[in-house]
Amino acid sequence: MNIVVLVKQVPDTESLVQIAADGKSIKKDDIKWVMNPYDELAVEEALRIKEAKGGSVTVVSVGPQKAQETLRTALAMGADKGVHVNDPAAEGGDPLATAKILAAAVKGLPYDLIICGQRAVDEDNYQVGAAVAEFLGIPHISIVAKAEVLDGRIRCHRSIEGGTVVVEAPLPALFTTQRGLNEPRYASLPGIMKAKKKPIEVKTIADLGLDPATVGAAGRKVVIQALRLPPERKAVRMIPGDTPAAAAEELVRILHTEAKLI
């Protein structure tokens, strides 16, 4: 079973995100960068499948030099090798542009199964997995909280509003992760030491045979015109009350007569 996992380096979810001077991007300094939490689930699931069925786990990422940290983290968790598409022409793409690069990188690898996060918690696009599968001409199943590899196919528990649907697809296939799929392991110290010696193949857009005009910032179809902070709420109105019952009554009165929500 050859498994490919797509990973992305993103700002930690507890970090404060600030708008850069251009008004269209974020300040990249002073941010703690981590592996996208949904991608951690993907790496873990790939390792568990490999442990059960044998095979290899290859992690693929598009990003600047720094993104190699995320590949090393995945290697330290137990992945076998990494592919890093590191090229200025690959930077600043929208999900479709990035998926083109990832699909081209995966095409050069043996794969039966591709796993990635349902979304990256930076731009929250929920698109890359489906697009990579489309470009590779394979089925995908998104938002998967449980996966079983059967003979030549995958059975996935896909979370939808109000329940779960169990979907099967023949391999090769791609699925995207949902929380609850597993608890990702931490890299052990020996794992971290071993990861330093594991191979990371570095590729450029030219190596992948792609036209630079179709990827990265040049290939963007969704163009960010402006970033802004969410609208400020008015200052909180604290509701006093000598007793919990009095405060509760006052809150419900306000919600009923002023906010007209009850």
Partner 1 sequence: MANGVLAITEQRDGKFRKVAYEVVSEGRRIADGLSGPLTVVVMGAALGALAEEIKAFGADTILVLDDPALADYRTDAYTNALAACLPAADPAVVLLGATAQGKDLAARLAARLNAGLAMDCTAVRVQSGSVICTRPMFGGKLFADVTIQGTPQIIAVRPNVMPIQRAAREAAVDTPAVETGEVKTAVVEKLMDAGGKVELTEAEVIVSGGRGTGGNFQPLEELAAALGGAVGASRSAVDEGWRKHGDQVGQTGRVVSPALYIACGISGAIQHLAGMSTSKVIVALNKDPEAPIFAKADYGIVGDIFQLLPAITAAVQKIKS
Enumerate residues 138-177 that contact partner 1 by CB under 8 A: 139-143, 145, 155, 157-170
Q: How far is the CB of 104 from partner 1 (least distance, A)?
A: 14
Contact 146, 156 (CB under 8 A): yes
CA 173 to chain centre: 17
Tell me if 133 contacts partner 1 by CB under 8 A. Answer: yes
Q: How far is the CB of 188 from partner 1 (least distance, A)?
A: 22
Hey, which residues between 48 and 87 contact partner 1 (CB under 8 A)?
none
With residue 158 as reference, give the H or E element that holds it: strand 153-160
Applying CB under 8 A, the span of 52-60, 63-71, 107-115, 128-136 interacting with partner 1 comes to 128-136
Hey, which residues between 8 and 27 contact partner 1 (CB under 8 A)?
11, 13-17, 19, 26
Tell me if 238 contacts partner 1 by CB under 8 A. Answer: yes
Cα 117 to Cα 7, 26, 236: the distances in Å are: 8, 22, 36
Q: How far is the CB of 141 from partner 1 (least distance, A)?
A: 7
**Six token digits for residue 175:** 């699925």
Burial of 207 (0-12, 13-18, 19+ CB in 10 A): middle
Q: Which is nearer to partner 1, 185 or 194 (CB)?
A: 185
Tell me if 127 contacts partner 1 by CB under 8 A. Answer: yes
Residue 150 CB neighbours (<10 A): 10
Hey, which residues between 190 and 219 contact partner 1 (CB under 8 A)?
none
Contact 125, 96 (CB under 8 A): no
Backbone angles phi, psi at 157, to 5 degrees: -90, 110
Helix or strand or coil: residue 126? coil
Q: How far is the CB of 54 from partner 1 (least distance, A)?
A: 25
> How many residues form the binding site for partner 1 (CB under 8 A)?
83
Contact 18, 26 (CB under 8 A): yes
Applying CB under 8 A, the span of 58-66, 80-88, 186-194, 222-230 interacting with partner 1 comes to 222-230
Q: Which is nearer to partner 1, 169 or 192 (CB)?
A: 169
